[in-house]
């Protein structure tokens, strides 16, 4: 009996010594990153539902040398998303809403023109297509964190101006903070309470009494940490918090409260807490399984993990949960010079046993390993979200993966199969028209090979112009330098920057990725601009509606004008041939019995094309009027284009099939009530053949009155 007791005592002593050794190493990790007089950090570890480690280091306030301790409330930024999602899940489980509800059931003024359903679950896992407000404000030249009192109402107002989405809901994952601001607004609609009121009670029910979202940007938060970073200057700087958005972040909490919650999550199965159990899973019916209720669900360190990070200037945080091992690591900091993510990962590697989990590659990876036909791997590929381009190239016999600011060597593992020198478990397989990344977690990412045929000077000239987005009321210019290099300038920027032209569809400059959209005549009509988390913002090319009433000829000029008749009521079109001194050689009068007006003339191989407007012919008040003459001004044919209201012709271009007539088209809400009706005027392009027959027409941007 004494021998057994001695064995138990020795075993416990050995276990405690081993544990102390690990904790000592964890201490070393933290003390190496944060000095006592630097902005601080708090780290906690839960094992089997119990706190086994709790550490504080550094300062919450540098000005007054206040320590970062158990009372300190720090902003955990996007790690807060899990709590907003938890509130939505709770309302769903209690029948107050459905995750399948279209968000416009609650937010009635948002995206009225989008026909696809935008479901609550699309907001939860960032598959809605709604653009991030941070990037939208940045494009407007109005940095979000400098806007005093900026809140969720301002975000909603900004998004209500957006007419379309960045992509079809449910089609791809694209992280956007706006999703969670809208979830907060939905919570208000469903509960009848402000988000701050509702969330405060919710946190109290979770036993998190020192946790709350920002309520007023000037309101005092007891024991609040201040955010710091040296921003590369070598001295500490603080960013003032003057906004009050919430739902997506800006949750101030203590390490004690977070550990209270983590203990509840670890014990959820034991306590049969359905809300917490379901919150750690993928969203039912979701198109993606790698992001759930405000949580990432991808494997980490070779094992099943549930995790999320947060960062907003000096504040940052990280949660890692390893459910099978029943270990959770949480870290938060007000030090922008460190990464709580990397610190938490280093701690996890010390705590977790060697992984025995085998890679769970997608089944198609095994099929790809058996491919025998070698394909071309070198070239350029678009990211799955079409927000950047990857180039696969070779240098000195080695293969490299190159992005704008990142290059890594690739190692061949078989025909068309490669891995990375910095991550051997991540595989890449090349196919005829794409390459696919295969992750050991089972995740895949598909990159489309793009055509890289040379872009001609004519192609570049076709891009020159001004492009406008009316939702943000901003524009950008594309121009050619003296060396015929394409250059870009946003209206909120001062200088032009060089553009990398990948092909006839994709461009990139600085942080802007652009996709060119053309009409059926291969003319650039708009550019979809992606900026960070704001995808496919539609910038329409401002149409060139220049009048060209005179053109030069070898021996003089040809000119069209509008002339009034003697009756003083009607007008005609006068076509005049002039010599080199401007003297008239001959003239022709064209038109009908009412008002006919000339705008431009275009030379053709066999004569001239006159573009204008007429009330003598056509269907309505004024129609676009086109007349074709021979070289001596004899009319060969005429035609009109339009409907009941006013259509005006301004200019024309030669096309392969005929001509493209540029003008405007008017639409009104009523044919009879001229005093109360509303009318809009849009740029209108009409494609016609050589004989004036209409081929097609296109309505472009609205012309503001």
Least confident of 104-113, 145-154, 305-314, 318-327: 145-154
% of the chain residues with pLDDT over 70: 96
pLDDT in tens, 31-67: 999 999 999 999 999 999 999 999 999 999 999 999 9
Average pLDDT of every residue of the chain: 91
Q: Which residue has the higher pLDDT, 152 or 6?
A: 152
How many Cβ atoms from other residues are within 10 Å of residue 396's Cβ? 4
pLDDT in tens, 252-271: 999 999 999 999 999 999 99
Q: How far apart are CA 493 and CA 474, in angstroms?
A: 11
What is the reported pLDDT for 10?
47
Least confident of 215-219, 397-401, 461-465, 639-643: 215-219
Q: Where are the alpha helices (DSSP H) in 283-414?
A: 340-351, 363-369
Least confident of 254-263, 345-354, 369-378: 369-378
**602 contacts 654 by C-beta, under 8 angstroms:** yes
CA angle 124, 126, 130 (to 5 degrees): 110
| In 153-289, beta strands by DSSP E | 212-213, 228-229, 237-238, 251-253
What is the reported pLDDT for 260?
98
- Kindly list the distances between the CA atom of residue 437 and the CA atoms of 180, 387, 398, 424, 446, in Å, as whole numbers in the listed order: 29, 17, 19, 12, 7
Q: How far apart are CA 439 and CA 316, in angstroms?
A: 27
What is the reported pLDDT for 242?
75
pLDDT category at 623 given cuts 50, 70, 90 is very high
> What is the full DSSP assignment across 633-653?
--EEEEEEE--SSBEEEEEEE
Closest to 180 (Cα-Cα) out of 331, 313, 295: 295
Query: What's the average model confidence in pLDDT over 284-289?
Result: 92
**Which CATH architecture is the domain 457-541 placed in?**
Beta Barrel (2.40)
Q: How far apart are CA 22 and CA 291, in angstroms?
A: 32
What is the reported pLDDT for 545?
78
The pair of structure tokens assigned to 640 is 């009109």
Residue 3 has pLDDT above 70, yes or no: no
What is the reported pLDDT for 18?
61
Domain ranges of the chain: 1-32, 54-351, 363-449, 457-541, 550-702
What is the reported pLDDT for 581?
86
pLDDT in tens, 512-571: 999 999 876 677 889 999 999 999 999 999 877 778 899 988 889 999 999 887 666 789
Closest to 703 (Cα-Cα) out of 679, 675, 687, 676: 679
**139 contacts 162 by C-beta, under 8 angstroms:** no
Residue 7 has pLDDT above 60, yes or no: no
How many Cα atoms are found within 13 Å in the side-chain-facing hemisphere of 178? 29
CATH 1.10.10.10 for domain 363-449: no
Residue 12 has pLDDT above 60, yes or no: no
**Which CATH architecture is the domain 54-351 placed in?**
3-Layer(aba) Sandwich (3.40)
Query: What's the average model confidence in pLDDT over 586-612?
Result: 94
**71 contacts 60 by C-beta, under 8 angstroms:** no
The pair of structure tokens assigned to 661 is 């007539």
What is the reported pLDDT for 346?
96
What is the reported pLDDT for 5?
60
Least confident of 306-310, 334-338, 472-476, 560-564: 560-564
pLDDT category at 704 given cuts 50, 70, 90 is low
Q: Is-same-fold flag (54-351; 363-449)?
A: no
Residue 184, Cβ density class (10 Å: 0-12 exposed, 13-18 middle, ≥19 buried)? buried
């Amino acid at each position: 009996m004494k021998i057994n007791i001695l064995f138990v005592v020795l075993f416990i002593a050995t276990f405690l010594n081993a544990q102390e050794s690990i904790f000592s190493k964890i201490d070393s990790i933290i003390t190496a990153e944060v000095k006592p007089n630097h902005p601080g950090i708090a780290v906690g570890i839960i094992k089997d539902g119990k706190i086994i480690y709790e550490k504080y280091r550094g300062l919450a306030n540098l000005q007054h040398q206040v320590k970062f301790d158990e009372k300190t409330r720090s902003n955990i930024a996007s790690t807060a998303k899990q709590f907003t999602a938890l509130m939505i899940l709770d309302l769903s489980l209690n029948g107050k809403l459905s995750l399948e509800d279209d968000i416009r059931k609650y937010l009635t003024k948002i995206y009225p023109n989008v026909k696809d359903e935008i479901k609550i679950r699309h907001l939860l896992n960032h598959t809605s297509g709604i653009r991030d407000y941070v990037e939208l404000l940045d494009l407007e030249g109005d940095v979000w964190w400098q806007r005093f009192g900026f809140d969720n109402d301002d975000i909603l107002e900004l998004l209500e101006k957006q007419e379309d989405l960045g992509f079809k809901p449910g089609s791809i994952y694209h992280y956007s903070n706006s999703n969670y601001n809208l979830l907060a607004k939905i919570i208000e609609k469903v509960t009848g309470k402000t988000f701050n009121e509702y969330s405060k009670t919710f946190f109290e029910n979770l036993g998190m009494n020192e946790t709350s979202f920002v309520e007023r940007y000037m309101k005092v938060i007891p024991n609040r940490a201040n955010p710091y970073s040296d921003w590369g200057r070598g001295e500490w700087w603080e960013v003032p918090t003057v906004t009050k958005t919430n739902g997506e972040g800006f949750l101030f909490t203590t390490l004690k409260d977070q550990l209270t919650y983590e203990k509840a999550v670890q014990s959820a199965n034991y306590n049969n807490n359905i809300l917490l159990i379901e919150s750690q899973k993928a969203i039912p019916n979701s198109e993606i399984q790698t992001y759930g209720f405000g949580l990432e669900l991808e494997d980490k360190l070779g094992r099943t993990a549930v995790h999320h990070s947060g960062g907003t200037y000096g504040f940052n945080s990280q949660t890692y949960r390893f459910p099978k091992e029943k270990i959770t690591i949480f870290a938060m900091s007000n030090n922008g010079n460190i990464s709580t993510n990397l610190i938490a990962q280093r701690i996890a590697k010390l705590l977790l046993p060697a992984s025995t989990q085998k890679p769970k590659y997608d089944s198609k990876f095994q099929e790809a390993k058996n491919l025998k036909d070698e394909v071309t791997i070198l070239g350029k590929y678009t990211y799955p979200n079409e927000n950047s381009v990857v180039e696969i190239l070779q240098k000195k016999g080695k293969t490299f993966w190159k992005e704008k600011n990142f290059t890594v060597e690739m190692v061949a593992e078989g025909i068309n199969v490669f891995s990375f020198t910095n991550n051997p478990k991540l595989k890449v397989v090349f196919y005829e028209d794409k390459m696919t990344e295969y992750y050991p977690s089972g995740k895949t990412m598909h990159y489309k090979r793009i055509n890289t045929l040379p872009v001609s000077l004519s192609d570049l000239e076709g891009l020159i112009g001004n492009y406008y987005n009316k939702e943000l009321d901003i524009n950008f210019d594309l121009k050619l330098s003296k060396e015929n290099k394409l250059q870009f300038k946003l209206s909120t920027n001062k200088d032009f920057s060089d553009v990398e032209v990948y092909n006839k569809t994709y461009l990139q400059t600085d942080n802007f990725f652009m996709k060119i959209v053309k009409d059926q005549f291969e003319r650039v009509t708009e550019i979809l601009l992606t900026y960070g988390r704001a995808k496919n913002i539609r910038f329409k090319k401002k149409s060139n509606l220049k009048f060209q009433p005179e053109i030069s000829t070898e021996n003089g000029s040809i000119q069209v004008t509008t002339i009034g008749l003697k009756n003083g009521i009607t007008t005609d079109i006068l076509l005049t041939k002039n010599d080199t001194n401007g003297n008239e050689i001959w003239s022709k009068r064209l038109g009908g019995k009412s008002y006919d007006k000339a705008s431009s003339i275009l030379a053709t191989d066999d004569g001239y094309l006159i573009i204008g407007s007429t009330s003598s012919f056509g269907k309505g008040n004024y129609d676009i009027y086109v007349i074709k003459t021979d070289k001596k001004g004899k009319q060969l044919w005429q035609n009109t284009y339009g409907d009941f209201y006013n259509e005006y012709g301004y200019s024309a271009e030669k096309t392969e099939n005929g001509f493209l007539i540029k003008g405007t088209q008017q639409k009104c809400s009523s044919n009879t009530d001229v005093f109360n009706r509303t009318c809009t005027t849009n740029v209108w392009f009409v494609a016609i053949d050589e004989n004036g027959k209409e081929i097609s027409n296109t309505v472009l941007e609205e012309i503001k009155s």
